[in-house]
Amino acid sequence: MRKGAAAVTGIAEDGPVTTPHPLTTLVQGLLQRIRAFDERRPRAWDLTLTSFWVIAALTDYASSGWRRTAQNTDVPGWLLICMSLGFTVPLLWRRSRPLTVLLVIAPFSLLNGWTGAILQASLVQGVVIFHVALHRPIRELAWAASMTLAPLVVGTVRYPQGAWDWQLGPGIWTFTLTALLGIAVRSRKEYTDSLVDRARRLEVERDQQAQLAAAAERARIAREMHDIIGHNLSVITTLADGGAYAARKSPDRGVQALEAIGTTSRQALSELRRLLGVLREGEGTSDSPTRAPQPGLADLASLVESVRSTGLQVSLTVKGTAPAQSAGRQLTVYRVVQEALTNTLKHGGEAASATVDATYAPDGITVTVTDTGAGRCGNGGWDGAEGRGITGMRERTALYDGTLEAAPLPGGGWRVHLRLPPESTALDTRRENGNPGT
C-alpha cells in the first residue's frame, strides 16, 4: 500500500519524486531516438540533413524567394544554383571537418556578398559554426569568425544601406549566439561524460572494495578455522593417546580422558557453529545458531586448564589488571596463546612444559609463551620457514599495530612474544568492522 501511495502522490519513502512534464518526456524520447539513429547510421543521418538543406536552398531559388532579401536581383540563374549548392553540399562533412567546410563555403559566401544576391542558403553557415564550437578547439572560432564575417563586410561595402552597425550587427550576433550555443552543448556533453566516467570508476572501485572485503573475510575465517580446529584436534589427539595408554592400567583415568575429549569436542563444535553461523542465510530466524561471545582475556585460564588436561605441564602468570579491551584485541591475545600452546602439543615432545606470562600495563599488553620441548629444532635445526599458524598470529597482531616474535630459544625450546600497544578505540572499531583506515 505504501508503494502505491507513493506512486499516486509522487512521494517516495526517502523523499519527494519530481514527475517530468509530459511535453518534456516527449521531447526527450524524440531526441533519444534521433541520437540512437545517428549512432547506428551516422552517414545516413548526414545525408538526410544535407539533402534537406539542398532541397530548401533550391526551392528558395525556384520560388524566387531570394528576391525578397536580395540587393541585386539581376544575378544569373546558373550562378544562383552554384552558390546554393556551394552553401549546402559541403554540409555532408560538417562534423568531421567543420573548419574545412567553412573554408570551402567561404568563396561562395564572398560571391554572395559581392553579387548582392544575399541568398538565405548562406544561413547554413551557422550549422557549421555550431560544429566548430562543438568539436574543435575554441581558438579555431577566430578563423571561423573571419571566414564568416568577411563576406558581410564585402557586401556592406559594395551595397551600403544605412548604418554599418545595422548591416553587420545581425551577422555578428548570429555568429556569437551560435558559437555560444555550441560551447554550451559541448560543456554539457563533457560534464555528462565526466559524470558517466566517474560513475564507472566508482562502480569499479566498489567492486574492488567488495572483493578486498571478501578476501579479508575469507582470511579471517581461515585463521579462526585454523585456530579452532587445530587447537582442539591437537588436544583431542593428545587426550586420546593418553587415554588409550591409561585405560590399560587405570580405567578411571581412561574415563577421565574420554570425558575431557567430549568436553573439548563440544567446545570446538560450539565455536565452529558460532563462526559458521555468520555465513548462513536467514540470520536472525528461529533456526539461527546461538551466538556465544568470542573468547577473551578472561578465558586464558580455562584455555591453559584445557591444555593441562592433556598432560602438558602449563603454568599461567598474570601481572597487572586486565584493562577494558575491544573484543578483537582480546581475541587476538587468546588466539596467539592458543596457537603457541597447540604448537607445543604438536612439536614439543612428551617431556615438554610451557609457561604463559601475561602482563597488563598502561603502555600495552605483553604475553610471552615459552616451552622446553625439542620444537622444530629437534631434527637438525629450524629452517626459518613459518607455517600457517605463525603467519596467522602475525596477521592478527599486525591488525592492531602490535609486534610478534616467534623463534627457537638458544638452549632448546620455543618462544612466542606478543605485544599490543594501548588501544585506540575508534581505530580498532573500524578495523574490527573490516575498514582498517589509515
Backbone angles phi, psi at 367, to 5 degrees: -130, 130
Give domain status of residue 134, yes or no.
Answer: yes
CA–CA separation, 274 vs 293, rounded Å? 9
Task: List the one residue out of 48, 145, 116 whose CA is nearest residue 88.
Answer: 48
DSSP 3-state of 351 = coil
Is residue 12 within 8 Å of residue 6, measured between CB atoms?
Answer: yes
Cell 505504501 belongs to: 2
Report residue 237 as a C-alpha cell: 589427539
Domain limit, last residue, from 128, 161, 194: 161
Contacts with 140 (C-beta within 8 Å, 6 or more apart), sequence order: 99, 132
CATH number for the domain spanning 338: value is 3.30.565.10
Q: In this predicted structure, what is the pLDDT of residue 67?
A: 84
Average pLDDT, the chain: 78
- pLDDT tens-digit series, residues 248-288: 666 666 666 666 677 767 766 666 666 666 555 444 444 44
Domain that holds residue 337: 300-376+385-438
Give domain status of residue 65, yes or no.
Answer: yes
- The helix (H) or strand (E) run that includes residue 369 is strand 364-371
pLDDT of 105 > 70? The answer is yes
- pLDDT tens-digit series, residues 279-314: 554 444 444 444 556 788 888 888 888 888 777 889
- pLDDT tens-digit series, residues 214-258: 777 677 667 666 666 666 666 677 767 666 666 666 666 666 666
Q: In this predicted structure, what is the pLDDT of residue 5?
A: 43
Give domain status of residue 334, yes or no.
Answer: yes
- The helix (H) or strand (E) run that includes residue 371 is strand 364-371
- The helix (H) or strand (E) run that includes residue 416 is strand 414-420
Contacts with 224 (C-beta within 8 Å, 6 or more apart), sequence order: 275, 335
Longest dimension (CA), the chain: 134
pLDDT of 397 > 70? The answer is yes
Domain limit, last residue, from 161, 187, 222: 161
Q: Is the dihedral of CA 124, 130, 135, 136 positive or negative?
A: positive
Q: Please classify residue 293 by burial: count the beta carbons closer than 10 Å to its beta carbon, then call 0-12 exposed, 13-18 middle and 19+ buried.
A: exposed
Is residue 188 within 8 Å of residue 194, measured between CB atoms?
Answer: no
Give domain status of residue 423, yes or no.
Answer: yes
Q: In this predicted structure, what is the pLDDT of residue 346?
A: 79
Domain limit, last residue, from 161, 184, 217: 161
Rounded mean pLDDT of 384-400?
Answer: 77
Give domain status of residue 78, yes or no.
Answer: yes
Helix axes 98-115, 77-88, angle to 10 degrees: 160
Give domain status of residue 66, yes or no.
Answer: yes
Backbone angles phi, psi at 345, to 5 degrees: -65, -40
Rounded mean pLDDT of 392-417?
Answer: 87
Task: Give the Cβ contact number of residue 84 at 10 Å.
Answer: 27
Q: In this predicted structure, what is the pLDDT of residue 289?
A: 43
Give domain status of residue 429, yes or no.
Answer: yes
- pLDDT tens-digit series, residues 26-38: 887 887 888 787 7
Total structural domains in the chain?
A: 2
Contacts with 252 (C-beta within 8 Å, 6 or more apart), sequence order: none
Give domain status of residue 341, yes or no.
Answer: yes
pLDDT of 366 > 90? The answer is yes
Contacts with 233 (C-beta within 8 Å, 6 or more apart), sequence order: 268
